[in-house]
Amino acid sequence: MLLTKAFRKKFIIPDFEQLTQHINRMYDNAQQQEAGQVADYIPQLAKFSPDLWGVSLCTIDGQRHSVGDTKVPFCLQSCVKPLEYAIALHEFGSEHVHQFVGKEPSGFKFNKLSLNDEDKPHNPMVNAGAIVLSSLIKVKSKGMSTLNTFVVVINFLKSLAGSEYVGFSNATFQSERDTGDRNYAIGYYLKEKKCFPDTADMTAALDFYFQLCSIEVTCESGSVIAATLANGGICPITGERVLSAEAVRNTLSLMHSCGMYDFSGQFAFHVGLPAKSGVSGAVLLVVPNVMGIMCWSPPLDRLGNSVRGIHFCQELVSHFNFHNYDNLRHFTKKHDPRNRSDEDSNKSVVNLMFAAYSGDLTALRRFALSAVNMEQRDYDSRTALHVAASEGHVEVVVFLTEVCKVNPHMKDRWGNTPLDDAMQFGHDVVVSALQEYIDGNAPCNTEEQKTTLDMYSTLKSIV
């Protein structure tokens, strides 16, 4: 399948080499950002060098590109939250999951002891929501040990990653356990407010949550996970449907509104794409129906997001029209790497000719306003004016000549002009309109055209 797409140039990004050149440039620009501090409240995270920086991308049809430190394992930390939520949705359904967790941004820090008006965690992207989902998955595991439940989730994530690297850092897990006072406080607060499912064990849920945060990926395997989300739950590497379409839709919605800590609103405004960050320095970015990207650089800004990762994402959408609202007509002049120039031209000709054939003046006005070349020719060298004249659509003929200034002297492969076609099919009103335009704007000065008109007049008088 990939070879077929390659030979037919049917990849989602036709000129992938050009895209990678831009990605490399953006990577280099982001590398110059030296602000931020490596997270140190979890001792294992503090051991990473601030110079580490990697970016990997995977398109929905399996095109891959990596630059920098993309094979170094790092913990997902909060980047696991949307994946945990997606798994819960896939296994238990949206209605059941949202009996325990809300859908709104909290307006508070991710580790705040706070609930919404219904005494639920605000959303699955804050610690309270992720801990409740951990307890839900544990309860639904029907008595399996924490270890066995964890193995099930690890295997699920490996399916999302196309069987690429998904590991576990036991040292980080122990470090999380030893320094997780805030999360234990959240756990007891949730228990007091009866947020956990019946029969849930708070301590087991917290252990499970710490394990999930300690799952390791690389930029390369993380980009495949992001691409699976971009592809509606189907892994682009294996072709396996891993998540339901509904689970992916809901997950991306909450990533867009709640995924970047206290920077979520700013990120949605400036970048306009679903994303999730983690204090390890990871940024999981999804360009729906196009690609998934994993950025990783340990130095964080004051809100807990990777400095280089944020810079890369912002530069990405400043160049490409990936922002959610960049595709509004007449709004953006950014580059669209999905465009196929040959196919766009062919579609444009077909649409233009069909509008002229059917006399669809509204569509033709829309094409003209969109800067479509109204003199495009089809494979027979016929213009829209030829087609409209042949069909007798006088209003279209007047629009194409008077407004669009389409040349009425252009000839098709048989040497016929639009006037010739109008005469051949006996559309007298069109003949008159064309002749009037030619006489007033583009005087007929060839003996051949004068002879043709004289012959047409003679034939009409005989009839």
Residues 301, 401, single domain; the answer is no
- Contact 78/125 with Cβ under 8 angstroms? yes
Q: How far does Cα 102 stand from its chain's mean position?
A: 25
Residues 41, 169, single domain; the answer is yes
Tell me: pLDDT of 7 over 70.
Answer: no
Any domain includes 6: no
Any domain includes 272: yes
* Count of other CB atoms within 10 angstroms of residue 311: 19
- pLDDT at position 21, please? 96
Residues 411, 298, single domain; the answer is no
Residues 281, 414, single domain; the answer is no
Residues 311, 361, single domain; the answer is no
Tell me: pLDDT of 27 over 90.
Answer: yes
Average pLDDT, stretch 206-218? 96
Average pLDDT, stretch 254-276? 95
Query: In this predicted model, which residue has the larger pLDDT, 1 or 201?
Result: 201
**Choice among 216-225, 315-324, 445-454 with the minimum mean pLDDT:** 445-454
pTM of the predicted protein model: 0.76
pLDDT tens digits, one per residue of 133-169: 999 998 877 666 767 889 999 999 999 999 999 999 9
Q: The CATH number of the domain where 67 resides is what?
A: 3.40.710.10
- pLDDT at position 192, please? 94
Domain-ending residue, one of 289, 319, 349: 319
pLDDT tens digits, one per residue of 118-132: 999 999 999 999 999
Residue span of the structural domain in which 423 resides? 341-462
Any domain includes 446: yes
Residues 260, 404, single domain; the answer is no
pLDDT tens digits, one per residue of 192-206: 999 999 888 999 999
Average pLDDT, stretch 33-41? 92
Closest to 48 (Cα-Cα) out of 160, 166, 175 = 175
Any domain includes 216: yes
Domain-ending residue, one of 264, 289, 319: 319
Residues 308, 418, single domain; the answer is no
Residues 163, 63, single domain; the answer is yes
Residues 378, 452, single domain; the answer is yes
Residues 176, 67, single domain; the answer is yes
Domain-ending residue, one of 319, 351, 371: 319
Residues 265, 348, single domain; the answer is no
Any domain includes 336: no
Any domain includes 335: no
Give the DSSP letter string of 143-154. T--HHHHHHHHH
Residues 120, 179, single domain; the answer is yes
- pLDDT at position 459, please? 45
- pLDDT at position 122, please? 94
- pLDDT at position 110, please? 80
pLDDT tens digits, one per residue of 318-359: 999 999 888 655 556 788 888 765 556 677 899 999 999 999
The 8-class DSSP code of residue 266 comes to H
Any domain includes 128: yes
Tell me: pLDDT of 272 over 90.
Answer: yes
Any domain includes 4: no
Structural domains counted in the chain: 2
Average pLDDT, stretch 354-375? 89
Give the DSSP letter string of 276-321. EE-TTSEEEEEETTTEEEEEE-SEE-TTS-BHHHHHHHHHHHHHBT
Closest to 432 (Cα-Cα) out of 389, 403, 461 = 389
- pLDDT at position 109, please? 82
Q: The CATH number of the domain where 377 resides is what?
A: 1.25.40.20
For the chain, percent of residues with pLDDT exceeding 70: 90
Tell me: pLDDT of 455 over 70.
Answer: no
